[in-house]
Structure 1
């Protein structure tokens, strides 16, 4: 017997109509936030960032591939990782489906990571992904967009992520080892990327938007942490499921790792 409140169809419909009012207000609020994102001032990018891609060395303008808009997913895959971040991987699982639609609407979607291109290509083949993925290895791009940090920054409290300054790593409440008994997502993600937690957390997730006008690239938007929630497709479905997210600790895996012993 369920412990959840039950009712008649009439009672459900009355409650649903009340909820619909709130949902419509939420939608209108979302439209307003989207408009405000688009009204942000553009920041000219003058640094000559270089990337390695499947087609060879490329500038940031080259990454647009003929489009005027570029959306970059800052995928956590550091040079010391043996595989991509499992959490970023669940987000990226959705990219194949809509990247082609964006590309045909003047928007290029590309993931960028610090790992060497060969590592990215191998992992991309493993995951069965086809969206563009560029390596920023040995460049400043990730650091300049606040998604990669040095060991010294981490140790001394010099990390500024999601527009906030973090305390030194020694005060972060995650054990800095591969303790399988610790189910916190940072530890589990570190284990699954073949690193310790400190190394894993020197990379961070995010997304940035750019526009190309008259040969000049401008940054228009960046978001991090929970700002990526809307890009995580499975959570949009879970938020509409009867039990919601219904989670305790890290339950997700890479899509080829479920049902493994």
Structure 2
């Protein structure tokens, strides 16, 4: 017997209509926030970023692939990782399906990571992905957009992430504080230690290209990525919601192992 509240169809409908009113308010608010994102001032990028892609060496403008807009997913895959971050992988599982729709509406999508291109290509083959993925190995792109930190920054203890100071807890402190459980599991699943794993962070950035000039228009991090994680939008509508008790997800080819 369920312990969840039950009721008649009439009681359910009354509650559902009340919720629908609030859902519509949230939708209107979301539309307004989208409009305000698009009204943010654009920042001209004069720095010459270089990337390695399947087609060869590329500039940031090249990543637009003939479109006027570019969305970059900052995928956690550091140079020392043996595999991509599992949570980033879960988000990226949806890219193959909608990248063609974006491309045919003047928007290019590309993942960018610091790992060398050969590692990214091998992981793409393993995951069965075909979306563009560029390597920023050896460059400043990830650091400038606050999704990677240096060992020196890490040792100093605080860096900026999600527009605020962010402390990197990578080893036990005197009081016995340990790294977050997710960091330890993420490190193990990417073949690194916690410190190495924690030098990469997830995020997404948007860019515009006009008259040969690239502009930075938007970036978001942390929970700001929830809307891009397609599975979570489905979980939020499931009877038990996200129903999470920790770092539960795996890469899509790992669920039936062991």
TM-score (ref. length: structure 1) = 0.95
Q: Does 1:133 align with 2:133?
A: yes
Where in structure 2 are the equivalents of 1:10-29 lying within 5 Å?
10-29=10-29
Give the corresponding residue for 1:143.
143
Per-residue CA distance 1:121-177 (angstroms, 9 max, x = gap) = 00000000000000000000000000010111011124111111123545888746x
Is the counterpart of residue 103 in structure 1 residue 103 in structure 2?
Answer: yes
**Structure 2 residue ranges without an equivalent (≥5):** none
Q: How many pairs does the alignment contain?
A: 255
Q: Deviations over 1:229-256 (max 9, x none)?
A: 0001110000000000111011110000
Q: Distance in 2 between matches of 1:174 and 1:52?
A: 40
CA contact (8 A) 1:175 1:187 kept: no
Q: Distance in 2 between matches of 1:255 and 1:167?
A: 31
Range 146-155 or range 158-167, more displaced:
158-167
Q: 1:110 to 1:174 in 2, by over 3 A?
A: farther
User: Counterparts of 1:117 and 1:14 in 2: how far apart (Å)?
Assistant: 55
Any idea what the Cα deviations from partners look like across 1:165-190, whole Å, max 9, x if unmatched? 123545888746xxxxx8x2111111
1:243 aligns with 2:240: yes
Query: What is the aligned counterpart of 2:199 among 198, 202, 213?
Result: 202
Secondary structure, in 3 states, of the residue corresponding to 2:167? coil
1:219 and 1:106 map into 2 onto residues whose CA distance is 16
Alignment match, 2:208: 211
> Secondary structure at the residue paired with 1:212?
strand
Is 1:233 equivalent to 2:227 in the alignment?
A: no
Q: Does 1:165 align with 2:165?
A: yes
Output aligned runs, 1:57-206, within 5 Å: 57-167=57-167, 169=169, 175=178, 184-206=181-203
Q: Secondary structure at the match of 1:166?
A: strand
Q: Partners of 2:234 and 2:28 in 1: how far apart? A: 20
SS of 1:142's equivalent?
Answer: helix
Distance 1:168 1:51 in 2: 27
Match status 1:223 vs 2:212: no
TM-score (norm 2): 0.96
Do the aligned residues in 2 keep the contact of 1:76 with 1:84 (CA within 8 Å)? yes
Distance 2:93 2:256 in 1: 18
Calculate the aligned-residue CA RMSD, in Å: 1.4
Extract unaligned runs of 5+ from structure 1: 177-181
